[in-house]
Structure 1
C-alpha cells in the first residue's frame, strides 16, 4: 500500500495533467494550408497538438495546388483527420463546374472516419470587384449550384468558409445555407463574434493566420468524437 503522501502526490499529478488532455478533446486544434506551405513537418504538427487539417486542392477550374498530394499523404501518415478545400472564383465559371473540378482533383469525400467533407472557401476577390461582379442574389445562386453539385456526388454538403463581413456584403446575409452546410468562420480575434445569418453556431473557427502550426490556426467547435463524427457523415 502506498503511503498517504505518495497517493496524494499521484492524485495531484493526475489532476494537473487532466486540463490539457481535456482541452485537446473538447476543442481539437487544427490548421489549413495551401501551396504557400509546400514543405511541412507533419510529425511536428501532430506533436504540437493538431488533430485535423484542411488542404487547398483547387481554385476556379484551372488551378491545382502542386503540393496537395504530398500534403495530403503527409497528414494521413500522422493520422490527422483531413480534407480538401476549393477557393471559389464565382466570376470565371458556374458553381457546378467548379464543384466538379474540385471533386476531380482532391475534393472528394469517403465515409472512412478520417476524411472531412470538402470546404468551399468564399473570400473577397484578390483583385477587381470584391464580390466578383455578382449581385447578392446571383452569389447565393452560385453557392447553391456548387453546394448542390457537391452534395449530389458525395452525399455531403460542403463546409462553407467565410467571414461575416463577406457574407453580408456578397450574399446580402442570406440565411439559405445554415440548415445544411457546416460553417467555417474566419475571425482573427479573441471570440468568434456575430455569425452570418442562418447559422446558430459555427463548426470550425480560423482564429489566426500564424502560430504553432504552419498556415492558418483553427479550432473545432466540439470534441474529438464530434470531429470524427463529422468525418464519418
Structure 2
C-alpha cells in the first residue's frame, strides 16, 4: 500500500464512497465524547465492498488533558467496533484547532495527552496515528515523544497549492519534510472531487485483512534521487542542495535576511526544522524547497544494512569491534562495501573470502545515503 492514494471522509461526504483511484479511506468516526458520524458504518462498509482499505479517525477535543484523552479514545474504539472497522486497522487522533480543542497547553504535556489516546487505541488492537497540520506538529506538540513510542505514525496535512485547488498528484518538491510521516494529506480537492487527497508513504495497512495490493504511485521523474552524500554513522539526517542555482542561506527560519548561498550538491547536517526551513548551523537556515533531506537509518537502528565508503588511507578490516583489534586486510580508499549493521561506532562487514564478520571503524568509512 505504500506510495498509494487515498481519501479521508466525514458526514459531509456521501455514504457510498465513489473516488476512482483511492486505495484507502480514512473515515471520521467520533468527536469528543458526544458526537458520532451517522454515516460511518455505510462508509466503512462501502470501502470494504470496493476492496479499499478502511481506516478511522477521531477529532480530539481533549487538548492537553490525558484523562480526557483516554475517555475520548474509548468512545472512538467503541464506534470503530460498532461500524466494523477491522482490528489492526489504523485509528488516528485528529488533534488540531477547532471545536474547543486547545493546542497551547505545552508541547510535552500535549504530546503526553496524545500518547494516552494512542496507547488506549493500541491496547484495543488498532494501529494509532496522529493527524494534524504541519505547523502544529512542528510547533505545538513534541512529536519526538510520539515517534519514540510509535515510529512512522504521523499523518500530516500540508497543501502546497493552497485550499480549494484541484490537485491530481502530490508535488514532492514541497513535501512537509519531517520525521515519522506515514501519510501526507496534500490537497483538499483531489482530482476536482472536493475530497481530501492523501498519499501513503509508509504502509499502515499490513495487518488490515480488508486491504488489497495496490498499484504504486508514480513519482515525477525530476524527483528521482541521484544525490548520495556520505555521513558518519552517528549523523541522523542531512540536507542536500538540489537546486541548480544553489540555495540561499538565511539568518533565521523566517527566511527574510540572506547571509550567503551554497552550491548545488553541497550537504549539511540537519540541526532543526521549523516552518519548512532547515537549520544547518547557528543562525544558518535554508528554505527546505531548495533541496532534500536524507535520513541515516543506521543512526537509529544498529541492525540496519547499507553501503559504506572508505574515506581515508590505511583503513583496515578488523577482527573485532574495538580499536586495538587485529587487522585482517586493507580496504581500498574510495571503494564501497556492503555492511550488515553496527556495533558501537564499528560497521560490520562480511569477509568475502572466509564468510566471517569483520569490522571497520565508522570514523574512517562513512555511510552512503
Common topology (TM > 0.5)? yes
Contact 1:94-1:145 within 8 A present in 2 as well: no
TM-score normalised by L of structure 1:
0.72
Q: Aligned-pair distance for 1:89?
A: 0.5
Residue 231 of structure 1 corresponds to which residue in structure 2? 208
Residue 195 of structure 2 corresponds to which residue in structure 1? 215
| Higher normalized contact order (CA 8 Å, seq sep 6+, divided by chain length) | 1
Kindly indicate whether residue 76 of structure 2 is the aligned counterpart of residue 97 of structure 1. no
Residue 144 of structure 2 corresponds to which residue in structure 1? 175
Q: Which of the pair has more CA radius of gyration?
A: 2
Alignment of 1:137-156 (within 5 A): 137-154=108-125, 156=126
Residue 28 of structure 2 corresponds to which residue in structure 1? 56
SS of the residue 1:178 aligns to: helix
Deviation string 1:8-35 (CA, Å, 9 cap, x unpaired) is xxxxxxxxxxxxxxxxx76211100001
Distance verdict in 2 for CA 1:227–1:178, change over 3 Å: closer
Kindly indicate whether residue 5 of structure 2 is the aligned counterpart of residue 35 of structure 1. no
Contact 1:31-1:214 within 8 A present in 2 as well: no
CA distance in 1 between counterparts of 2:14 and 2:117 reads 27
Structure 1: 5+ residue stretches without partners? 1-24
Per residue, is there more strand in 1 or in 2?
Answer: 2
Q: Aligned-pair distance for 1:206?
A: 0.3
CA distance in 2 between counterparts of 1:126 and 1:62 reads 12
Structure 2: 5+ residue stretches without partners? 161-170, 210-369
**Greater shift after overlay, 72-81 or 52-61?**
72-81
Contact 2:93-2:130 within 8 A present in 1 as well: yes
Q: Aligned-pair distance for 1:229?
A: 1.7
Residue 92 of structure 2 corresponds to which residue in structure 1? 119
**C-alpha RMSD of the superposition:** 2.6
- Number of residue pairs aligned between Structure 1 and Structure 2: 191
Q: Aligned-pair distance for 1:178?
A: 1.2
CA distance in 1 between counterparts of 2:50 and 2:13 reads 17
Per residue, is there more helix in 1 or in 2?
Answer: 1
